[in-house]
Structure 1
Amino acid sequence: MYLKLRSFAALAALTMATGCSIMHPVAEDYGQYLANNKGESKFQTVKAGDQYYLPAATQNHHYEFRSAVTGYANVWVVEFGKMLDATMQSKDVVDALGNVTKAATESPNAGNVIVFDLQNYTFKDFGTHVSLTISVKNAGGEIFKKTYTVDGKTQGGKMFWGGAFGMKNAVQQSTKLATDEIITSFIRDLKASTAVASAK
């Protein structure tokens, strides 16, 4: 009987919590988060392109999830396109890639355009999981393309002890670490492909 009452109480609490959701947009202050953590990315430098482009599905990406750790009333909203925009404008990326402006199209008339095409984004098991295809295009066509799949570092401690603020920081940090790993690999691969092209 006691177990039944506990189960009913838990179900009632869950129903009440999900009936009144509190939305937490993670991208809202992501630019400030990156500014507060500048210098941590340690990217190599490379001239990858003059512009970057996000396809509509990437730019308009919208992902929501709840976490039992911080209460089901809280809904965490991730807009990866907005976070990529903030990333491309961050000091660490500008120092690595130069001042890469946003393009209106992925088919440039001149110069190189870096295209970020999000394949998948989830936040599960206390961490971010990202699959992102990066290509470089110019007037002659596509000169580089690779898909990167990365798991961001788990943030269980922040989620357990930090409450709603800690949870937002956990999502931001895990997303940043995953994105940093992708950009690091992209720069390394692009440098290698450029070196191969130059040798030929």
Structure 2
Amino acid sequence: MSLSVCVYCASIEGIAPENRELAAAVGRGIAERGWALVSGGGRHSMMGAVGAAARLGGARTTGVIPHALVDREWADHESDELLLVDTMRDRKALMEAHADAFLALPGGLGTCEELFEVWTSGYLGMHAKPVVLLDPYGHYTGLLEWVGGLRDRGFVVPAAIERLIVTTDVDAALDACAAEVGEADVSRMVR
């Protein structure tokens, strides 16, 4: 089965080196499975590492980046396909259209915003693609606890929480990307 996996992750410099290596491991894993990568089209930090590793392993890479960020994020011109768009909303829509699954790695506000949008739209039935969070270092522990608290207070239904697959291992995350929604064989960490 050939998949296109959209990876959301940090594009900012100065983060811990293990995050960059995690992104590279994901890129290698995508390539080893014969899949394609869809990313935000930047060549810095984790975003650059996932793209470079995927290409090095032979995977096709598609980057989607707004014109305004081409210089700021130093667009990944090595991408097999680099799509330029006008807005961040256009970027997310095109990334979603090119992807069969979504995988979020550690990141900041932009990564969280992308994750929440595909997670919510998946729960609402706007797509049936897997939404996976790979968090081996506890980066999202506080966020997941907060979301669990929203559920406990009645703001989020359990089915919405269950729509997100949380893993701590690269292979488990990629396996979850290939699984049918609701059939992934991984433990859910938001309780």
Q: TM-score range by the shorter chain?
A: 0.3 to 0.5
Q: TM-score w.r.t. structure 2 length?
A: 0.32
**Which of these two proteins has the greater Rg computed from alpha carbons?**
1
